[in-house]
Copies of this chain bind each other. A is one copy, B any other.
Amino acid sequence: MSPIHLAIVGVGKIARDQHLPSIAKNPDFQLVAAASRHGSVDGIDNFTSIDEMLEKVPGIEAVSLCMPPQHRYDAAYKALNAGKHVFMEKPPGATLSEVEDLQALADRKGLSLFASWHSRYAPAVEATKAFLASTTIRSMKVIWKEDVRHWHPNQEWIWQAGGLGVFDPGINALSIVTHILPKPVFITRATLEFPENRDAPIAADITFTDADGLDLSAEFDWRQTGKQSWDIVADTEAGQMVLSEGGAKLSIDGVLKHEEPEQEYPMLYKRFAEIVKAGKSDVDLAPLRHVADAFMLGRRKFVDAFHD
């Protein structure tokens, strides 16, 4: 089978760090064009708008969308409408409703839509899911604390309304939690801390439960200097489970059970090729739905102004 002719839209940090290297290594894809207001990719045709790219390069079969979520719907709609399969970086949109609309369009057109959650492909996630399925969970705690100045230097869009703030990394944790837990959870209480000069939260404290009364909490914080934390800790009948480093390592009672090299984005492109070949979509909105629920249900608290 000849490779899928792929175009990329939004050549920013995440495209350069992750998408382009993963595409280059995957024989199922051939990168043929890029559209970006500011960036470009060497050796292929570059455009400043998706409209111009779709018009000038008719052979494009699939499009990967890497721009901020506030602008994703338009590009996804245009690509699907032009008959292209679509890969969406996380989060898949600025609202749940627009993603539902895209999914319906992809279904009508018989195209594959992929709402990707890269953290679900972290090395130890599947081993953790299997472990939790084999025992009973007493309680679980998610601690996702990082230094926004280090990870998102001067990225204005993450602080704008619709940019999600600390939920931009937090949704990675939620994408793992919703995948590894045996039952669906829902939020019962949340506090969101907004810097007084910003439209998006810098921290969040969330309590979830499930139909059986599971005790699940999550702490997201963007003010963490020094050691960074991306950990999910569970007290289970088979011991204390720690999924650490963003899903990279699984330990039970302090003994390392699973660790392998990180391959998240290569796995995402493997999955995208798979669903395109199978004529399916892969859109699970649960992580974004929890974020929307947190904003709807949560108390707002104002904290010190944040300056980059």
Contact = CB atoms under 8 A, between A and B. Distances in A.
Contacts of A73: 186
Contact of A184 (B104, B185, B290, B298): B104
Interface in A269-296: 286, 289-293, 295-296
A96 B194 contact: no
A296 B211 contact: no
Nearest to A196: B302
Nearest to A102: B211
A267 interface: no
A188 B211 CA distance: 34
Interface residues of A, number: 37
Nearest to A162: B297
B184 A94 contact: no
Interface string A2-19: 000000000000000000
A152 interface: no
Contact of A97 (B100, B199, B290, B295): B290
Contacts of A290: 97
| Residue of A293, A297, A298 with most chain B CB atoms under a 10 A cut-off | A297
Given A211-B77, A292-B293, A97 B299 contact: no
Given A161-B299, A199-B300, A297-B94, A184 B100 contact: yes
B286 A97 contact: yes
A187 B297 contact: no
Contacts of A185: 97
Interface string A206-241: 000011000000000000000000000000000000
A96 B292 contact: yes
6 contacts: A95-B186, A95-B293, A95-B297, A199-B299, A199-B300, A300-B300
Closest 6 CB pairs of A and B: A292-B292, A95-B293, A97-B186, A98-B186, A295-B295, A295-B296
